[in-house]
Structure 1
């Protein structure tokens, strides 16, 4: 039955009679549903009516997402400045994207000065708020803006609220072992080196020329290091230092690291990561991946991803190389002597394994299969079909094997 127009209008109008705290909760749900909503919703809500504007401006949490992208569009800086002001003393999330949509892989990185100037300008007006940064994300596609940011970061020796840090040079090819590295200086001491970062728990560094000998990282829960040029990639000694400083680490990704060959590696004890449940290991050269694995003890790891990244990036120009030593190293880890002080051991907790683009000896893979006794899911992606056959659990296959192809991609449910 249709309601009279007057009654329907009256019911619809009741939203404006809701108490302020209820409207504030509604505004929060709308704002925090996505990053895009965090960027635009507060402005939209504050322009509906004078009452809504007053409520939105009083809800300081709505204005805690500060975004600056290149090239600057109309109103962007004004919106970012408004967020800095309206968030008052709240911790804020800073997102800086200096990627150029017109940049291509053949462009000369050495000519990218304009965006470096842009980074300096951004950092200058963000500097007064640095004690409120809760998360900091910087995205670039060339080395100069990132290097400029790192150099400017030396001004900030203390970031008391920072929980998440992500510095990403979005160019995986920059980490090619034989790629020319145009950066004209040594690695930069992030935040001046050994900064005060009491709340920092999550770090992603990709293609950033950071000095790993003095980062100030400790107590991390997740660490993601990837696509590092050879002369700035962390050595195994530096990696040990990073891991020892974060004994509660739960997630670790080491992808396309190229240990610095000019600095002699020092042997040292393995690092027992007693809380690590997720490990991602990707490599250009299997020897480098083996060195990294030999640094680790993984008593409670549950999920492992193993990936030869060269086939994905180089595609047809890539000649497959045998990665069997990775499996041999994992088997050795599983055969270490029993330690009464640490009864949990690899691979007893292993539940999921993903192997992507890896060329393996089927016989060696067969020796690895008994270590999967507790594994629930094994994903083989872009591997030779005889690896699938070696598992011998064809009835549990979810996915398809491409007929007549030299590679197969399947998901096997083992339990």
Structure 2
């Protein structure tokens, strides 16, 4: 039997210049003829085929494969032709590359707008998904993506190794940004055998060793209990990192190991600008290369002395952002020698001191000067001196921070049974140049009340704030401290009268400039209402919003106060008393 396919095949070969519709019809006809020929050959049932029939069937299959390929090629050609005529397809290569970079930027840098229920595994895989999506829109854009080395320069070690090495290859000679969160690979490290688990991080160490010469940013977060962080760290700590600008290693587990920071990266990281060490010993962290740092975050362990941290900070005169944190409240600078000349950090604009006792904060301010400070964030714990004097940050701040509140028109105060807080925002609800928090759950009731009055003294006498907008919280919807903190002492947690007559007098006597006031959970409300019944209190007040748990209890007296002020020409134009949403 003779197979007729030459004419239509010729059409396929000349399709580049022919009409697309004619070509498609020819291919369809070819397929039909092929199927009829195959059916004719196979119509003999199970009869054995002779050599000629086998050759004919093989020829038919070859034709069908070429026809299918021609159809696929034609379809791709049509798609390319159509895509090239779209507005997106006509964009220049440079713009397509920028669009791809913008679309994947958040995912590549690990700053992703994700749902709360997403886990770290899904977060880690998002960059892969986004790059796949954008590179499959059309072939020209796919080629643009493949040629854009910087698009592949952000790598997550939680990916499978094939993807990790593919990205490294496609990034060509670009500097790399590497991140890793152990919780994204929980299943990989879920084993009771320490040696087996340690062996599983060998590929990570091998990759980092091979690429360290061009790693610009390295972020490692350990969230998994039992993760062999010691093996990982000592597998890379001596590597030389000539391009490293940003290094983060954080341990968020209860079994954290105190790692050594001695000879960090063999003291060869000449471009390092940002360093965060959480779960490291600060002893001997004195490399001269720290002099180039702009941002430093040190988390000090319970057995560590901040004297070592201070030594490290003293070697970083160019710091612009400094954070010193303790795992939990502890007097970590008890042995710090005082009386020495303070180190002037002439470039430091942002300072955060977290979970330090008040005397520790005071001594740190004695050790350093901050002439250009722009924002301070301190969470502390007041102490009672042997002579009964209260040691609190609210009464011990250096003069250099007073200017932060210059011209402030907003003041935010929180007072709970376990903590007190003072905040002065640049812009309401956006960013606070002053955030001072003290944990008072270890104090007796009278001592807590003393700290609250020290806070008011700090706001109105030290910072000399004359607010126009005043916000006061008495409930604690977002606790400041975590599970490592001490619980409130037994018998001290039922403090229902924080907002006493004396407290309101101290607060409102300094609020003559307040135009807008908001209160949340500040029961009992009677002392406050009683103060406002005096029309010389808050004479400028025009807007008052109060949210408490049992607003009906105070409705009548609240309205009577409003009527009284109106009669005496001190009207509050907008007033609202509502139920607090818990």
Task: Work out the CA distance in 2 between the residues paired with 1:26 and 1:77.
Answer: 27
Stretch deviating more after TM superposition (295-304 or 88-97): 295-304
- Is the aligned partner of 1:288 residue 2:360? yes
Q: Highest CA radius of gyration, 1 or 2?
A: 2
> Matches of residues 363-378 of structure 1 in structure 2 within 5 Å?
363-369=453-459, 370-373=461-464
What's the secondary structure of 2:179's corresponding residue?
strand
Match of 2:348 among 239, 261, 276: 276
> Matches of residues 39-78 of structure 1 in structure 2 within 5 Å?
39-69=128-158, 76-78=160-162
Query: Contact 1:224/1:254 (CA < 8 Å) preserved in 2?
Result: yes
Structure 1 residues 182 and 139, CA, compared in 2 at 3 Å: closer, same or farther?
A: closer
The aligned residue for residue 94 of structure 1 is 178
The aligned residue for residue 402 of structure 2 is 347
TM-score when scaled to structure 2?
0.52
Unmatched 5+ residue regions in structure 1? 1-8, 175-180, 311-321, 335-344, 411-415
Query: Contact 1:135/1:163 (CA < 8 Å) preserved in 2?
Result: yes
Q: Deviations over 1:349-383 (max 9, x none)?
A: 44632233533624433442322137989987759
Structure 1 residues 102 and 61, CA, compared in 2 at 3 Å: closer, same or farther?
A: closer
Deviation, structure 1 residue 192:
4.7
Deviation, structure 1 residue 68:
1.8
Structure 1 residues 160 and 292, CA, compared in 2 at 3 Å: closer, same or farther?
A: same
Deviation, structure 1 residue 203:
1.7
* Structure showing greater relative contact order (alpha-carbon pairs closer than 8 Å, 6 or more residues apart): 1
Structure 1 residues 65 and 199, CA, compared in 2 at 3 Å: closer, same or farther?
A: same
**Structural RMSD (CA):** 4.0
> Matches of residues 119-158 of structure 1 in structure 2 within 5 Å?
119-141=201-223, 142=225, 144-156=227-239, 158=240
The aligned residue for residue 243 of structure 1 is 313
Deviation, structure 1 residue 297:
1.3
Deviation, structure 1 residue 30:
1.5
Query: Contact 1:283/1:289 (CA < 8 Å) preserved in 2?
Result: no
Structure 1 residues 240 and 109, CA, compared in 2 at 3 Å: closer, same or farther?
A: farther
What's the secondary structure of 2:228's corresponding residue?
helix
Query: Contact 2:381/2:392 (CA < 8 Å) preserved in 1?
Result: no
The aligned residue for residue 166 of structure 1 is 248
Query: Contact 1:98/1:115 (CA < 8 Å) preserved in 2?
Result: no
Deviation, structure 1 residue 323:
7.3
Query: Contact 1:355/1:380 (CA < 8 Å) preserved in 2?
Result: no
Structure 1 residues 161 and 375, CA, compared in 2 at 3 Å: closer, same or farther?
A: farther
Query: Contact 2:260/2:282 (CA < 8 Å) preserved in 1?
Result: yes
- Is the aligned partner of 1:393 residue 2:483? no
Deviation, structure 1 residue 206:
1.9
Q: Deviations over 1:93-124 (max 9, x none)?
A: 10011137879xxxx99976655433332011
Task: Work out the CA distance in 2 between the residues paired with 1:122 and 1:100.
Answer: 14
The aligned residue for residue 324 of structure 2 is 254
Unmatched 5+ residue regions in structure 2? 1-81, 113-125, 383-388, 407-432, 441-449, 481-497, 525-545, 547-582
The aligned residue for residue 328 of structure 1 is 395
Stretch deviating more after TM superposition (133-142 or 284-293): 284-293
What's the secondary structure of 1:304's corresponding residue?
strand
Count of aligned positions:
353
Task: Work out the CA distance in 2 between the residues paired with 1:77 and 1:380.
Answer: 53
The aligned residue for residue 187 of structure 1 is 260
What's the secondary structure of 1:292's corresponding residue?
helix
Task: Work out the CA distance in 1 between the residues paired with 2:516 and 2:228.
Answer: 47
Structure 1 residues 81 and 182, CA, compared in 2 at 3 Å: closer, same or farther?
A: closer
Query: Contact 2:246/2:274 (CA < 8 Å) preserved in 1?
Result: yes
